[in-house]
Amino acid sequence: MPYLELTNHQEYLVERLKTLASGGYMSEFCWNKGGSSKGRPWSDDLVTDSELIMHVFCSYLDWHLPAHPRYPDGKTFTSQYFVRTPDKPKLQNLTENKMLIHQSKLNPPHYQLITKETTYDMPPGRHNMFHTLLLFLHNIKTREGCMLGPVNLGLSGINILNVLDPIHGEAELKQTSKLYSPGAGGKP
């Protein structure tokens, strides 16, 4: 199962997913580490919650995007739109894909959104991964007409873009985009 490929610590992974899914609003989320498992405290050999949630997001979109002959492992989204350090983003791919998510630091985890025009470097910390994902989805909605390749992420498709509507108005998302633009703290 693609969701379980993130780590060899399968028992921890399943237990942590259950913990994060229970309760409300992922209240047990710990961005720069995870949780204890069977009385053993979290350690660096286990994935952080940020890495876990990013992997679930990528796996979900891998499952929804059609197979591509260039990516026989079935990871169409991950192969095109996600780069994890120590790998470097290949900027020549941005012509085709237009943007990608880059995990620029492993521990503590740090994510950036890279477009052909700029790198949006979200503030570090607990909300970094979420801000990066929201900006990625916002760009899909506003720049790509809700389309990620041949898949509609909006109402007439898998409807993942609805996370943008009830919480943030269009003006607030534009303000967030401006806030993280190169002239206001983002990196060119």
**Which class for 101: exposed (0-12), middle (13-18), buried (19 or more C-beta within 10 A)?**
buried
- The Cα–Cα gap between 13 and 168 comes to 31
Task: Look at residues 57, 44, 167 and name the one whose alpha carbon lies nearest to residue 111.
Answer: 57
- The Cα–Cα gap between 92 and 113 comes to 15
- Give the rounded percent of residues in the chain with a pLDDT score beyond 70: 84
pLDDT of amino acid 140: 94
Q: Residue range 151-178: average pLDDT?
A: 75
Task: Look at residues 126, 107, 138 and name the one whose alpha carbon lies nearest to residue 29.
Answer: 126
C-alpha distances out from residue 144 to 103, 136, 159, Å? 23, 11, 15
pLDDT one-digit tens code per residue, 121-150: 999 999 999 999 999 999 999 999 999 999
**Range in 93-97, 135-139, 148-152, 162-166 the model is least confident about:** 93-97
**Range in 88-97, 99-108, 149-158 the model is least confident about:** 88-97
Residue 175 banded pLDDT, cuts 50, 70, 90:
low
pLDDT for residue 188 is more than 50: no
- The Cα–Cα gap between 13 and 34 comes to 10
**Range in 17-31, 41-55, 92-106, 163-177 the model is least confident about:** 163-177
Instruction: For the chain, give every domain's residue range.
Output: 2-184
Strands 82-84 and 110-115: unpaired
**Which class for 56: exposed (0-12), middle (13-18), buried (19 or more C-beta within 10 A)?**
middle
